[in-house]
A and B are shown apart, each in its own frame.
Chain A
């Protein structure tokens, strides 16, 4: 079952990623930014994938904490690692665009700061799991839950403090030619997330099974 689903997702994701460059190339040029604006099709989907991953990690952590299901812990750790990966893509593509659009590499703006803080919380989560010793999964689940609750607070406080980044209501006002490729890339990135998460959860499950076999051998 898992195998068949994995193969289907891999095929669909490949189609999305092969076609995406063509659609992005076809999309019209933005009037003031020109070619640089094409980072958009890469930048926005990577952040969207990161937020979905963070959300999944928070929910899975809560389930693990209160129900103790091992599978949800595996989903949580897989998602947390993907938060860091997608966040890194966003953090690299963002400044490249910002340098052209705003003239600076970084702005202490609500969205940027919130994304950075969220990214750091998930790095802290992985550090805790890596160096916290036995039993750190539960503690990490608590951290993920707190990290999720933190997002609106960071957003609100930095928003009051300062904002330059375009808001999400930019999307409906886009030229129709730009909207298609954006949604296409968005779905592509989300599929990539699902794919990577499935592979990572499977790895973790197999690792646990191996551990179990070793333990039985010792007994």
Chain B
């Protein structure tokens, strides 16, 4: 068990070190999600005020798009010099590789969200920090669910053709519950009358989703990655 986490942390550290040296993923993903928010601002702001309930959707679409881009790029990196194959050949638990990659993606998306969430709150005058703990839980659990499925699909598509298109094609229909829960959860927090009970229900659903899909991913990672 300890070895499992050592391996996972090692892989995460490798990813983060590559990232801190180049900053390629962070900067491109961040700029991309800011551009997405901007495009939505032109679509959903009328008379200087955002359309009702649009903010939660804009925030989650920006996160989902940024996540897809980051997942695609991080596994593209693993393809150079067959790094992923080398990792799979290493005498370690395969699920530990999955967990390591997942942690790396989560760290990256967290860094992007730290910028993008206040930016959305600022640009659309949204009271996102009125319930900081619930907002944090919704964002982190949603990001975890999205990345858990995304990391498995990203890893398995490394060997496939036309992987750039196939990743979003597979990922979005499967992560629809995360998007619904995330958007509705944030939306009830942004209402003039905050509906805490409803937000808690969405958080509960996200926890359930995360548990089921992380378990499934750990379980299927080994057979899916075996050639």
Contact = CB atoms under 8 A, between A and B. Distances in A.
Interface of A: 65-66, 117, 120-121, 124, 127-128, 131-133, 135-136, 138-139, 141-143, 145-147, 149-150, 153-154, 156-158, 160-161
Contact of A146 (B161, B174, B223): B174
Contact of A120 (B156, B162, B173, B205): B173
A130 to B, nearest CB: 10
B174 A150 contact: yes
B227 A135 contact: yes
Contacts of A153: 177, 205, 208-209, 212
Interface string B178-209: 00110010000000000000000100010011
A120 B174 CA distance: 9
A146 B209 CA distance: 11
B166 A146 contact: no
B6 interface: no
Contacts of B180: 154, 157-158, 161
A66 B223 contact: yes
A109 B205 CA distance: 18
B169 A146 contact: no
Q: Is the interface of A mostly helix, strand, loop or mixed?
A: helix
Contacts of A150: 173-174, 176-177
Interface residues of B, number: 32
Nearest to B184: A161
B177 A154 contact: yes
Contacts, number: 89
B162 A132 contact: yes
Nearest to B201: A160
B220 interface: yes
A142 B156 contact: yes
Contacts of A161: 180, 184
A135 B152 CA distance: 16
Interface in B210-225: 212-213, 216, 220, 223-224
Interface of B: 149, 152-153, 156-157, 159-162, 165-166, 169-170, 173-174, 176-177, 180-181, 184, 201, 205, 208-209, 212-213, 216, 220, 223-224, 226-227
Given A149-B216, A161-B180, A138 B160 contact: no
A78 to B, nearest CB: 20
B149 A124 contact: no
A128 B166 contact: yes
Given A139-B156, A139-B224, A158-B180, A132 B166 contact: yes
Contact of B160 (A117, A133, A141, A154): A133
B226 to A, nearest CB: 8
Contacts of B201: 160
Given A149-B216, A150-B176, A150-B177, A127 B160 contact: no
Contact of A143 (B170, B177, B209, B223): B170
Given A142-B152, A161-B184, A136 B160 contact: yes
A128 B160 contact: yes
A131 B161 contact: yes
A82 B23 CA distance: 46
Contacts of A142: 152-153, 156, 220, 224
